[in-house]
């Protein structure tokens, strides 16, 4: 295709693709919203904030101020229905301590507490994501939900039993540090990851599925740490 024509068409193409996936994942999430009205109300609050009070210019300024490779901080959302699908075959007791490593707006942190009663912790580098999620958590009086600003690679994860990491955009250096960090979690813990499994001999792959995300179709891996 002619280069100039591509430059003109590409933004339009990606905008349409983005909207189609947004609508598709919203439809898939509808039964979950109907089952958990609290989650639906909370989701609307998040949606209103990020649609009307957080401009892309402000986002860019915030990312630049962090001084981190912006590719590592690409925003994206895992739909609730996608996460429900990967968890469908495993037992999630209410004693579960869930970590979302790079929790974005915090959607899944809220979901895990509302659906399973799990203690849920979101770790995130972007301060606005954390402040907004904390404000909404307080408005809904969710005592077992917390959000921490900072690099999850420096976190103490020793009390965690279930982890999620959407590391599709992580570079190889971050992936290596992530593997090293997760090699110290409790035996028997479960790790869910996007795009690639945790490449460590103590992790056994239990499930791999192809599912929709806000950025398109992709893979989710579920692994158990053996020892």
Distance of CA 154 to the CA centre of its chain: 18
Cα–Cα separations (whole angstroms), residue 213 to 4, 18, 88, 194, 217: 30, 10, 17, 10, 6
Cβ 133 to ligand SAM, closest distance in Å? Answer: 11
Q: Under the criterion CB under 6 A, does residue 160 sit at the interface with ligand SAM? A: no
Q: Which is nearer to ligand SAM, 78 or 161 (CB)?
A: 78
21 binds ligand SAM (CB under 6 A): no
Interface region with ligand SAM, contact rule CB under 6 A, candidates 18-26, 101-109, 132-140, 184-192:
101-109
Query: Which one among 72, 85, 117, 140 touches ligand SAM, defined by CB under 6 A?
Result: 72
Stretch that binds ligand SAM, among 16-24, 46-54, 76-84, 113-121 (CB under 6 A): 76-84
Tell which one of 32, 39, 73, 162 touches ligand SAM (CB under 6 A).
73
- The answer to whether the CB of 43 falls within 8 A of the CB of 107 is yes
- The H or E element that residue 100 is part of is strand 97-101
- Nearest distance in Å: CB 69, ligand SAM: 9
The verdict on 32 binding ligand SAM (CB under 6 A) reads: no
Among 21, 42, 50, 100, binds ligand SAM (CB under 6 A): 100
Taking CB positions, which residue lies at the least distance from ligand SAM?
102
Strands 216-225 and 203-213: antiparallel
Instruction: Answer yes or no whether residue 29 interacts with ligand SAM by CB under 6 A.
Output: no
Distance CA 189, CA 182 (A): 10
2 vs 158, beta carbon nearer ligand SAM: 158
177 Cβ neighbours under 8 A, 6+ residues apart: 153
Residue 5 CB, shortest distance to ligand SAM, in Å, is 31
What b/e sequence results for 42-67 when a residue is b if at least 16 CB atoms lie within 10 Å of its CB, and e otherwise?
bbeebeebbeeeeeeeebeebbeeee
| 124 is a site residue for ligand SAM (CB under 6 A) | yes
Least CB distance from residue 138 to ligand SAM, whole Å? Answer: 20
Cβ nearer to ligand SAM, comparing 71 with 199: 71
Quote the DSSP letter at residue 206. E
Q: Are 202 and 225 in contact (CB under 8 A)?
A: yes
Q: Which of 200, 202, 198 is nearest to 186 (CA)?
A: 202
List the one residue from 87, 102, 161, 185 that touches ligand SAM (CB under 6 A): 102
């Amino acid at each position: 295709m002619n280069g100039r024509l591509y430059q003109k068409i590409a933004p339009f193409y990606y905008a349409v693709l983005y909207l189609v996936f947004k609508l598709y994942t919203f439809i898939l999430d509808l039964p979950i919203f109907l089952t958990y009205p609290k989650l639906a109300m909370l989701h609307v609050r998040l949606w209103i904030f990020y649609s009307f009070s957080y401009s892309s210019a402000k986002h860019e300024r915030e990312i630049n101020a962090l001084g981190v490779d912006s590719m590592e901080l690409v925003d994206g959302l895992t739909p609730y229905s996608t996460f429900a699908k990967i968890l469908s075959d495993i037992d999630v007791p209410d004693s579960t301590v869930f970590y979302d490593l790079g929790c974005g707006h915090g959607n899944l942190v809220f979901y895990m507490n509302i659906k399973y009663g799990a203690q849920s912790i979101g770790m995130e580098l972007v301060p606005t994501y954390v402040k907004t999620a904390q404000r909404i958590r307080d408005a809904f009086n969710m005592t077992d939900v917390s959000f921490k600003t900072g690099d999850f690679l420096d976190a103490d994860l020793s009390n965690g039993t279930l982890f999620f990491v959407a590391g599709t955009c992580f570079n190889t250096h971050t992936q290596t540090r992530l593997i090293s960090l997760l090699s110290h979690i409790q035996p028997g813990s479960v790790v869910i990851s996007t795009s690639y499994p945790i490449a460590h001999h103590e992790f056994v792959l239990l499930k791999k599925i192809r599912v929709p995300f806000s950025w398109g179709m992709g893979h989710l891996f579920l692994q158990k740490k053996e020892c």
